[in-house]
Amino acid sequence: MNIFITRKFPDAGLQLLKDAGHTVTEHTEQRNLTQDELIATCKTQDALISIGPNKLNDTFFKACGNLKVVSLMSVGYDNLDVAAATKAKIPVSNTPDVLSKATADVAFLLMIAVSRKAFYLHQSIIDGDWDFYDPNANLGIELYNKTLGIFGLGKIGLEMAKKCKAAYGMDVIYHNRHQNAEAEEEIDAKYVSFDELLQQSDVLSVHANLSKETKGLFNKDAFSKMKPTSIFINTARGEEHNEADLLHALQNNIIWGAGLDVTNPEPMAKDNPLLFMPSVCVLPHIGSATVETRNAMAVMAAQNVIASLQGEKLPNIVNGEVYGE
């Protein structure tokens, strides 16, 4: 059968698809497909592996009802209209769990980098500003025995919490829609209200899925409740924070620093003031960018497609309703 992939696919997953006897077409240009291009292409395909920002909405599913399966090479699915996919009776899969450790590594990296102004001070070497020693200059803050707040204590948040507890002896508090009894037992995490999370966290790390409830949640009001010595970390989705409000909070010493692997909008403009602030570190959405993790994601995405095209239930299903669940 015919499978279209919106990016050049990692070899580990590509070989699985070919070994299963399918014909694979990859979009290899260094640009995003337009929505019209995606729809036109998918009308002749049996399966789609979607990588990137294309909107899989009602218009897409109405036009591409021929598809037997859509596989997302991501854990998040905020660009998917789940109801539209279900109405079209097209199962959609994602790639959960396999990127938890890699993404938590990036959150941990950003936390340390922000606490020591690492990106800014690296740039000062490039700019030729490493000269006179001033014992009062370039001071960071230590993380030992501080309080880590996790917004969204799922698998990625738990990995972040375990690293912080092991490395720095940090106390862990969290806010979820529901309490996580397993995490509470494993790392002695304490469930708190959202306001308590803001008020008590020395480091607040965002790991929740993007939804109507979380979109723009970290705004001027939220930042105003945080400690002036606190660090804000977001490796989830950029739309969960209001970037203008974040900039205001940093410029006015309402919070101390920020580490972002996701931005709002994305990509970030190269002249964004956040890129030039001492206690801000920004990365270009590389949470899952390791050889091991991207291969694992590709294999999982391929396995979901192969299963569906063989008439089997997808191992990782987003809209189980298509199976009557």
Catalytic site positions: 237, 266, 285
For residues 234 and 241, the answer to whether their CB atoms sit within 8 Å is yes
Q: Which two tokens stand for residue 56?
A: 């899989």
Alpha-carbon distance of 232 to 226, in angstroms, equals 9
What does DSSP say about strands 23-26 and 2-5: parallel, antiparallel, or unpaired? parallel
CA proximity to 110, closest of 282, 290, 285: 282
The answer for residues whose C-beta is within 8 angstroms of residue 93's C-beta and 6 or more apart is 69, 70, 71, 72, 301, 304, 305, 308, 314, 315, 316, 317, 318
Q: Write b or e for each residue in 237-250: b if 16 or more Cβ atoms lie within 10 A of its Cβ, otherwise e.
A: bbbbbbbebbbebb
CA proximity to 75, closest of 235, 306, 280: 235
The answer for residues whose C-beta is within 8 angstroms of residue 233's C-beta and 6 or more apart is 107, 110, 111, 114, 203, 204, 205, 206, 258, 259, 260
